[in-house]
Amino acid sequence: MGFMFWSFSFIYFFSFLLSVFCSSVYGFWFVLELNMFVFLGLVCLMGGFLSLESSMKYFILQSFFSLIILFSLILDFSFGFYIFIICLFGKLGGSVMFFWVPSVSFSLDFFSFYLLLGLQKFLPFIFFNIFLFNFYGLGYLGFMIFNFIFSLVLGGYMGFVYVGNLRGVLVFSSLSHLGWLGFSLLLGVDFFLSYFMVYLLFLFILIYLSSIYGSFNLLEGGFIYFLVFFSFMGVPPFFMFWFKVFIFFSLFNLGLSLFLLVVLFLASIFSFFMYFKLFLSNFFSLSELGRKGVFWVVFIFNLLGLVLIFL
């Protein structure tokens, strides 16, 4: 498996590099498909027989979305661009097209799970960026914003179903992050890349810790899980919270509808209560010593957050 794994890994990361040199949307579409096939190869290599069902589901759905995207680009008419956007969300597993992500991700190994929730989002987002500035995409900006906000709301709501199970919470938290990543893309590719790299880092740490403990259960992960988990979720005053604050006020300065900003704010509050409920359900299951440790760490991070406000 060693040679095959490194060969597939090289082609996988080469596909990201190749996307930089694509001069047409059809070339980018080809790179997107190359990336999908290599990802499936890595999933089968790492997951073995248990990952075959997930691989087949992923292949069928992604192939369907890819064909529709290609036809919508060839036909080049206004309604086709709406279909194009919906199918790109299908590739991301976002908005109304999130349905396939839980069934595919729950049977994946740690490595494949990280790739699915992390790196596999990169190329579709870059395709969004190409569409916005090369295919009159600004005329469809409102539709894209609606889907980004819907992803935020849906991710926060569905997370309640899987409270206590880190894998489930990560799946729907990635749906919420998909919305924030979309808004960061509207502020510029540089800011999107910054947010995306931080997102990948915290996601990697969480999944790496899970692989060490051999579990996606928060209680078994213990105290360190909570610190990284809340940082990843953007709970104030942890690190990613300030990214969200910057995005919110930047959208306000760009003149985004006040109603949409209120919905964005309420979706964030909803997600916060989900994480707070998750925290309480696990906090009172800890020993007295563990509860004191969690309390003092959260207290210290809140003090640091207050200091950051004045920087």
Domain spans, the chain: 1-135, 136-288+298-311
- Distance (Å) of CA 56 to CA 161, 170, 284: 26, 22, 41
Of residues 41, 48, 57, the one with CA closest to residue 4: 41
For 147, phi then psi, to 5°, come to: -70, -35
CA–CA dist 225, 241 (Å, integer):
17
- Please report the pLDDT score of residue 3 as a whole number: 75
Tokens standing for 127?
């395709």
- Are the CB atoms for 229 and 210 separated by under 8 Å? no
Cβ atoms of 73 and 26 closer than 8 Å: yes
Residue 57 makes CB contacts below 8 A (sequence gap 6+) with 100, 103, 104
Spatial separation of the C-alpha atoms in residues 159 and 223, rounded to whole Å: 21
The pLDDT assigned to 64 comes to 93
Q: How far is the C-alpha of 292 from the C-alpha of 283, rounded, in Å?
A: 10
Reply yes or no: is the peptide bond before residue 124 cis, omega within 30 of 0: no
Contact (CB, 8 A) for 233 and 206: no
pTM of the model: 0.84
Per-residue model confidence as pLDDT tens for the chain (311 residues): 577 888 888 989 999 988 888 878 888 899 999 999 999 988 888 876 667 888 888 999 999 999 999 888 887 666 677 888 899 999 998 888 888 988 888 888 888 899 999 999 999 998 888 877 665 556 678 888 888 988 888 887 776 666 566 777 788 888 888 989 999 998 888 889 989 998 998 888 888 877 776 555 555 555 666 677 777 777 776 777 788 888 888 888 877 777 777 877 777 777 776 666 666 665 555 444 444 444 445 445 444 544 444 44
Q: How far apart are alpha carbons 89 and 100 in whole angstroms?
A: 12
Q: Give the pLDDT of residue 136.
A: 58
Closest CA to 267 of 150, 96, 153, 144: 153
Model pLDDT, residue 38: 93
Q: Report how far apart the first and last C-alpha atoms of the chain are (Å, whole number).
A: 50
* Residue 308 structure tokens: 């950051």
User: In the chain, which residue ranges form alpha helices assigned H by DSSP?
Assistant: 2-20, 25-47, 52-75, 78-92, 100-105, 110-117, 122-134, 141-158, 166-186, 189-213, 218-221, 223-233, 239-253, 258-283, 288-309
Report the candidate in 181, 26, 46 with the shortest Cα–Cα distance to residue 119: 181
Q: Collapse the DSSP code of 269 into the 3-class scheme (helix H, G, I; strand E, B; otherwise coil) and give the result.
A: helix
